[in-house]
């Protein structure tokens, strides 16, 4: 088996509400950039972005990826975390948070995740650099 994203990974940034909000804004911006030049495909939310979003979140905050044939989300520090939780496609799903570990062994999913990983990794690296720059600009309390 190739990529096993269901195994917990170490995070590079602490998972906090503020960091989650920043990550969500960042990923939505990247998701919109993907639609540039395709006016009929401009996203209103993160519908369809769960593979990229869950891989991005794992690279940034660690944890494991869970999901099923309809949807993927993260499990970080004992809690379910879903970057796409407000997306229309997730709202229409009957069981978006059902976890099917065997699904992650399907060769087609493995190939799909492998094809999404380079972009998700680039996004994660860019986001982490951006967050690092924000922290560096914050005044030091004395």
Which of helix, strand or coil describes residue 44?
coil
Full pLDDT tens readout for the chain, 142 residues: 467 899 999 999 999 999 999 999 999 999 999 888 787 888 999 999 999 999 999 999 999 999 999 999 999 999 999 999 999 999 999 999 999 999 999 999 999 999 999 999 999 999 999 998 876 666 655 5
Q: What are phi and psi of 60, to 5 degrees?
A: -90, -55
Output the pTM of the full model.
0.91
């Amino acid at each position: 088996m190739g990529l096993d994203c269901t195994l917990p990974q170490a995070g590079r940034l602490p998972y906090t509400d503020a960091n989650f909000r920043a990550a969500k804004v960042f990923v939505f911006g990247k998701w919109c950039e993907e639609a540039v030049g395709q006016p009929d495909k401009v996203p209103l939310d993160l519908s369809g972005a769960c593979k990229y979003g869950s891989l991005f979140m794992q690279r940034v905050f660690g944890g494991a990826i869970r999901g099923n044939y309809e949807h993927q989300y993260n499990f970080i520090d004992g809690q379910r975390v879903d970057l796409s939780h407000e997306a229309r496609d997730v709202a229409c799903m009957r069981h978006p948070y059902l976890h099917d570990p065997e699904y992650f062994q399907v060769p087609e999913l493995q190939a799909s995740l492998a094809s999404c990983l380079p972009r998700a990794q680039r996004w994660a690296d860019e986001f982490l650099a951006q967050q690092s720059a924000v922290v560096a600009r914050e005044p030091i309390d004395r």
